[in-house]
């Protein structure tokens, strides 16, 4: 086994590799860009090396700097994770030339599967079924259009390089072929620097089912069963599961045998995934699946396989790269239970899944797994970390495992409902809606499911009055109530003749909300919503809701939905109101801690007049305009929200 490895990646996959390396007693070296200087993977590793500015082209794609870091730190091997340089055969050659070991397949294997058309021709020779289509080198439009007619519409135009849905167009009619081809070529050229395409038969109800394979350097190859990745938006996976729902023994046997055959055809070593497209229009049948492509690396969704087989795939990667044989033979690998993985992203599902940025001011995952289930949280961020525009906006992967699909799906829903993220727009509500979708729950899925149901899946109901009341309560910071709290900075503090109350203003979208929060003698809080409601609507809350306060905002969690309200600065509002009046009112309940002026004084705009202590903080109240003070509050006075603190003789001086 290696003594030290370098991880040429970042985020959750770097943290994932570090955990297994630590278990095996292998020391780790992290690499990081400017944006990742304080990242979790840097903190977890034994050593860390800075490799450049934040853009990936200046850091995580700089193979020369990564190799130099490995040599400088005495690392024996490089683990590429996924993405970045993980499937770059030139990088593999450079690693090997430097006397280091690449923890993954050979450069030759990667090249063999790197281009979709060449890979499919290779699979045809190996006897692996491929989608009917044209995978040749000629790219003349007349030839491609002719091949499309021969295949039969609808057809799919696909870029021969890359993935992620880029350079892909469905064409339903011959008249649309030319325009679709031009669009696919432009997109492929921009994304991959290669505008060549292939043309395939479009499968009407396609399922995306992939098989995890693993090979060693002694010619051994095994499969670790299948994963279903049909739940996709924009050709990108959202929720993966294993085993595939509706899988028959005949199809599993045919598909896994084809996957092993494909890996052996290129003398594959390491972790890899053979992806198949399956026609689900008439259930799953053994003669209705075709090779799509091979990912010559560890997949993002590999925890699904680990959960249903009990195998640590990263450990296998390290052992095989270190020269060991596969730890298990095929007959020793068993399938047990069902697992789901949900990808939690910083993105706005309602706006076409537009990536989002922001600071994760609040990040909380379930402390314990749901009943009758196991759970894993794979993440590379912590509360306080920023979601950078430079990298993939994944926050975490939520993985659950249970005895059967129904139980596992229920566990996924419960875990999503207990996940809290504030500070950035996230997709947890969308994931929960998908997990609750009737077709998804029934296992009636295909790659078009999300597209067909998208409007319903991304719709979020407006916050209930209860959620608004909870936001108002959270905005008052009433959670400070208790024996250890300052009684004057809490709604539960002492008041001789009346209950202390605080008026709170919130904003949700375009809606302005006014609420009045007070503490009852029995320990409950009463929240009266005064606007925009026609009548006062009172709510009694015994304890603080699931919520998070962050600069200028409060987020209330109802299930997997996080409702974020803007909380205007009360002092700013007070200044604005006072600037147009002859009096200055308290923006919140508090204690007049210090008075710096007296009746009869002439003051100028911005001059400090008194200090109000509220919410455990001191707030300076300044003159909103020039004038002469007629009255001013007494030092030591306890005031309520709206109490006149200063009255002026003149509105302007």
Query: Mind spelling out the 3-state secondary structure of 214-241?
Result: EECCCCCEEEEEEEEEEEEECCEEEEEE
* Alpha-carbon distance values, 390 to 7, 192, 346 (Å): 19, 18, 13
pLDDT of residue 494: 45
User: Residues 141-170: pLDDT tens digits?
Assistant: 999 999 999 999 999 999 988 666 778 899
Residues 6+ apart with CB under 8 A from 77: 2, 5, 6, 100, 101, 102, 103, 321, 322
Which of left, alpha, beta for 185 (phi over 0: left; psi -120 to 50: alpha)? alpha
486 band by pLDDT with thresholds 50, 70 and 90: very low
Residues 212, 225 contacting (CB under 8 angstroms): yes
- pLDDT value at 283 more than 70: yes
User: Residues 561-578: pLDDT tens digits?
Assistant: 999 999 986 655 555 555
pLDDT of residue 574: 55
Q: What are phi and psi of 514, to 5 degrees?
A: -120, 130
Q: Which residue has the tokens 């987020």?
A: 555
Among 177-186, 213-222, 345-354, 637-646, which range has the highest average pLDDT?
Answer: 213-222
**Measuring CA to CA, which residue among 255, 254, 300 is closest to residue 86?**
300
- C-alpha count within 13 angstroms, C-beta hemisphere, residue 485: 18
State how far the Cα of 508 lies from the Cα of 258, in Å rounded to an integer: 54
Percent of the chain at pLDDT > 90 equals 66
Q: Comparing 535 with 433, which gets the higher pLDDT? A: 433
pLDDT of residue 29: 98
Cβ count near 620 (within 10 Å): 12
- C-alpha count within 13 angstroms, C-beta hemisphere, residue 624: 22
Q: How far from chain centre, in Å, is Cα 642? A: 43
Mean pLDDT, range 197-208, rounded to an integer: 90
* Alpha-carbon distance values, 551 to 241, 344, 619 (Å): 38, 23, 16
- pLDDT value at 477 more than 80: no
Residues 6+ apart with CB under 8 A from 263: 213, 215, 221, 272, 274, 294
Least confident of 427-441, 519-533, 597-611: 519-533
Q: b/e map of 561-599 (b: 16 or more CB within 10 Å)?
A: bbbbbebbebbeebbeebeeebebbbbbbbbbbebbbee
User: Which residue is catalytic, options 62, 297, 343, 418?
Assistant: 297
* Alpha-carbon distance values, 243 to 236, 296, 404 (Å): 19, 21, 10
Tokens of 393: 């906006």
312 band by pLDDT with thresholds 50, 70 and 90: very high
Active site residue 297: yes
Strands (E), 297-404: 338-345, 347-348, 354-355, 358-359, 362-364, 374-379, 386-387, 394-402
Q: How far from chain centre, in Å, is Cα 22? A: 25
DSSP per-residue letters across 445-500: --TTHHHHHHHHHH--PPPPHHHHHHHHHHHTTGGG-STTS-GGGSTTS--SSS--
Residue 233 bridge partners (DSSP):
236
- pLDDT value at 185 more than 50: yes
527 band by pLDDT with thresholds 50, 70 and 90: confident
Q: Comparing 489 with 478, which gets the higher pLDDT? A: 478
Residues 591, 598 contacting (CB under 8 angstroms): no
pLDDT of residue 576: 54
């Amino acid at each position: 086994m290696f003594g030290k490895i370098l991880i040429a990646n970042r985020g959750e996959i770097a943290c994932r590799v570090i955990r297994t390396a630590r278990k095996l007693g292998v020391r780790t070296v992290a690499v990081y860009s400017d944006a990742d200087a304080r990242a979790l993977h840097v903190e977890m590793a034994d050593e860390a090396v800075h490799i450049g500015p934040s853009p990936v082209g200046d850091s995580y794609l700089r193979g020369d700097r990564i190799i130099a870091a490995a040599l400088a730190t005495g690392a024996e091997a490089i683990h590429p994770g996924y993405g970045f340089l993980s499937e770059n055969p030139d990088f593999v050659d450079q690693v090997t030339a430097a006397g280091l070991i690449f923890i993954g397949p050979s450069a030759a294997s990667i090249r063999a599967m790197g281009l979709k058309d060449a890979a499919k021709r290779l699979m045809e020779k190996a006897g692996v079924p491929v989608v009917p289509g044209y995978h040749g080198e000629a790219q003349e439009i007349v030839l491609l259009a002719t091949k499309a007619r021969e295949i039969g519409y609808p057809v799919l135009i696909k870029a021969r390089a890359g993935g992620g849905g880029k350079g892909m167009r469905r064409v339903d009619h011959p008249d649309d072929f030319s325009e679709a081809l031009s669009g696919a070529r432009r997109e492929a050229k921009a994304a991959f620097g290669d505008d060549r395409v292939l043309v395939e038969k479009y499968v009407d109800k396609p399922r995306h089912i992939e098989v995890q394979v693993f090979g060693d350097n002694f010619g051994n190859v095994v499969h670790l069963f299948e994963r279903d990745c049909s739940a996709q938006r924009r050709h990108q996976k959202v929720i993966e599961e294993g085993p595939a729902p509706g899988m028959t023994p005949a199809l599993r046997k045919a598909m896994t045998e084809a996957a092993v055959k494909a890996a052996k055809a290129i003398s594959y070593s390491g972790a890899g995934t053979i992806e198949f497209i399956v026609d689900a229009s008439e259930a799953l049948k053994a003669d209705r699946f075709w090779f799509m492509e091979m990912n010559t690396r560890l997949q993002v969704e590999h925890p699904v396989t680990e959960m249903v087989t009990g195998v640590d795939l990263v450990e296998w990667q390290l052992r095989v790269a270190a020269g060991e044989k596969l730890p298990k033979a095929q007959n020793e690998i068993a399938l047990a239970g069902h697992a789901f993985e949900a990808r939690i992203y910083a993105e706005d599902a309602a706006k076409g899944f537009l990536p989002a940025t922001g600071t994760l001011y609040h990040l909380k995952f379930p402390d314990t797994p749901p009943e009758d289930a196991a759970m894993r949280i794979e993440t590379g961020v912590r509360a306080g970390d920023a979601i950078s525009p430079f990298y993939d906006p994944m926050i975490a992967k939520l993985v659950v495992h249970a005895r059967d699909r129904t139980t596992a799906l229920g566990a996924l829903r419960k875990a999503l409902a207990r996940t809290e993220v504030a500070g950035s727009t996230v997709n947890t509500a969308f994931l929960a809606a998908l997990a609750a979708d009737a077709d998804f729950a029934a296992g009636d899925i295909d790659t078009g499911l999300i597209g067909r149901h998208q409007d319903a899946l991304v719709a979020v109901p407006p916050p209930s009055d209860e959620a608004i009341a909870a936001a108002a309560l959270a905005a008052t910071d009433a959670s400070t109530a208790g024996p250890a709290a300052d009684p004057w900075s809490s709604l539960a503090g002492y008041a001789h003749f009346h209950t202390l109350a605080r008026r709170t203003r919130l904003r949700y979208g375009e809606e302005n909300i006014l609420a009045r929060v007070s503490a009852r003698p029995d320990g409950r809080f009463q929240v009266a919503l005064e606007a925009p409601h026609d009548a006062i609507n009172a709510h009694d809350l015994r304890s603080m809701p699931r919520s998070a306060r962050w600069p200028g905002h409060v987020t209330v969690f109802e299930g997997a939905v996080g409702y974020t309200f803007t909380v205007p600065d009360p002092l700013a509002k007070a200044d604005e109101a006072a600037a147009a009046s002859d009096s200055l009112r308290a923006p919140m309940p508090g204690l007049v801690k210090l008075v710096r002026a007296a009746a009869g004084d002439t003051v100028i705009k911005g001059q400090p007049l008194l200090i109000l202590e509220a919410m455990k903080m001191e707030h300076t109240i300044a003159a909103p305009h020039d004038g002469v003070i007629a009255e001013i509050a007494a030092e030591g006075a306890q005031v309520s929200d709206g109490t006149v603190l200063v009255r002026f003789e003149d509105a302007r001086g």
